[in-house]
Structure 1
């Protein structure tokens, strides 16, 4: 099935910017404590994806398992192409500094793949130093759920969508990343986030060279 994917520049999403500079972290700090989990909006928009989300939450991307119904898998992966949630990969290890990189869906509509964006502010694989994580207002705290030596993929979407694109991002978060682990605040808005150990639906990430964003 061919899907017309809605590709958004990562710079339009908040978390990549949050991870960049102490100045932005100060803005987050001034916004106040993280809000409670927005369970009602998420539940209202889960709809027919609820069964897939339950499998994901129970098995850490269970939709990659062969036991998942192929029609359900295709439906959830189609949804991901319609509006991919913001996605960040974290690298946590005892013997090296913590790092992060932005991920996006690229490739063709018929053969999508996850891509890591490398530019002059990252290394050749797109990794950038992770600073000020302890200052960010995540609930629960992000540093408590990131696992050393494991793959950590964080997806996020607005908890209360204001546009059709944000609506698709939240549905994709629920269907393909297992729903919400917690929330964070940005510009007086609450965002749902989820952590998984495998990227859903498509291969990757492969590294692509991107333009530097200001």
Structure 2
């Protein structure tokens, strides 16, 4: 199966933009998906999902020293990033991460803006994740007590913003593991054990 390059994705996006068919709207899904705004067409989402299914990443993705351009792209074009874990009781919990720019290098911080009533560590149960049609199933990919970072972006694009988000994800986190859906829109997701590019804030 042929691999869709980021350049080709961007080209398709620009062509469609000139056709006048793009628009965006904010997205929130089951208390997890909160930061990206795609409009998704059918087609390559299924191709992406099938060609990378079960190819879970185990490394840190891009590094600032070796992939400065990719890391800078991630700062310019943020994507959705959630730390996901499965408890011994079989409950999936998550907390959102984002990049914060400091006087030195940017760092990853836990985004507590959406979790005012959550515990100090921001972990919250996410029972609605089961309704997002993860393929491969997210529940089966998580091991109890071993949290991972889930990054996501539009699986197919209809505008330049969608293409840039997809490039940010694949450039920094690597190729997608699979797809999930929310309100008939499809996203590609990646699982890694460590955040790429920048150091995370220290746990309190």
Q: Normalising by structure 1, what TM-score?
A: 0.64
Distance 1:152 1:36 in 2: 23
CA contact (8 A) 2:90 2:144 kept: no
Corresponding residue for 2:62? 63
Corresponding residue for 1:130? 126
Task: Name the SS of the counterpart of 2:119 in structure 1.
Answer: coil
Corresponding residue for 2:197? 201
CA contact (8 A) 1:183 1:190 kept: yes
Corresponding residue for 1:19? 31
Task: Name the SS of the counterpart of 1:115 in structure 2.
Answer: strand
- Alignment RMSD: 3.3
Counting matched residue pairs gives: 163
Considering fraction of residues, name the structure with more strand. 1
Which stretches in structure 2 are left out of the alignment for 5+ residues? 1-24, 33-43
- Say whether 1:84 aligns with 2:78: yes
Corresponding residue for 1:37? 46
- Say whether 1:157 aligns with 2:169: no
CA contact (8 A) 2:58 2:193 kept: no
Distance 2:194 2:70 in 1: 15
Which stretches in structure 1 are left out of the alignment for 5+ residues? 1-10, 21-34, 43-56, 209-214
Task: Call closer, same or farther: CA 1:38–1:106 in 2, change over 3 Å.
Answer: farther
Distance 1:98 1:129 in 2: 6
The superposition leaves residues 44-102 of structure 1 with CA deviations (integer Å, 9 ceiling, x where unpaired) of: xxxxxxxxxxxxx76522534xxx9x4x4212211211212211111223168532111
Deviation (angstroms), 1:107? 2.8
Distance 2:121 2:81 in 1: 16
